[in-house]
Amino acid sequence: MVVSVDEVKTHLRIDHDDEDTLIEGLIAQAQAVAEDYCRVSFGDEAAEPVRLAVMLMIAHYYENRDNPDKQVYVTMRIAFENLLYPYRDVDKMF
Number of structural domains, the chain? 1
How far apart are the C-alpha atoms of 2 and 51, rounded to whole Å?
6
Q: Per-residue confidence at 11, pLDDT binned at 50, 70, 90?
A: very high
> What's the burial of 10, exposed, middle or buried (CB within 10 Å: 0-12/13-18/19+)?
exposed
pTM score, whole prediction = 0.90
pLDDT (0 to 100) of residue 8:
97
User: In sequence order, what are the residues at sequence separation of 6 or more whose Cβ sits closer than 8 angstroms to the Cβ of residue 56?
Assistant: 76, 79, 80, 83
Range of the domain at 67: 5-92
